[in-house]
Amino acid sequence: MERFKKVYQQGAIDVVEIWIDTETGVNYVFHRNGNAAGFTPLLDKEGKPVVTPQQ
C-alpha cells in the first residue's frame, strides 16, 4: 500500500493538491507554481492538523 494517497487536485501550472497519509490520517496540502513547491500539513481553524479517520 502507498503511504500517501492523493484525494484532490486543482490546476495545471498553479497546482494545489490534498494528500492523506494512509498510516496516520493526517491531511497535507501540496502547492506548486512553476519550479517552486511546498508540502505541509493542512490545518483547521484552531491550528490543529486535519485528520481523516482510517477505515
Q: What is the pLDDT of residues 7-25, one digit of tens each?
A: 999 999 999 999 999 999 9
The domain segmentation of the chain, as residue ranges, is 4-41
pTM, entire model: 0.88
- CA 21 to each of CA 13, 33, 34: distance values in angstroms, whole numbers, following the listed order: 24, 23, 25
Nearest Cα to Cα of residue 27 among 8, 46, 13: 8
**Residue 45 has which C-alpha cell?**
481553524
pLDDT over threshold 80, residue 3: yes
Q: Give backbone dihedrals phi and psi of 42, rounded to 5 degrees, phi first.
A: -85, 125
Quickly count: other Cβ atoms within 10 Å of residue 17's Cβ: 16
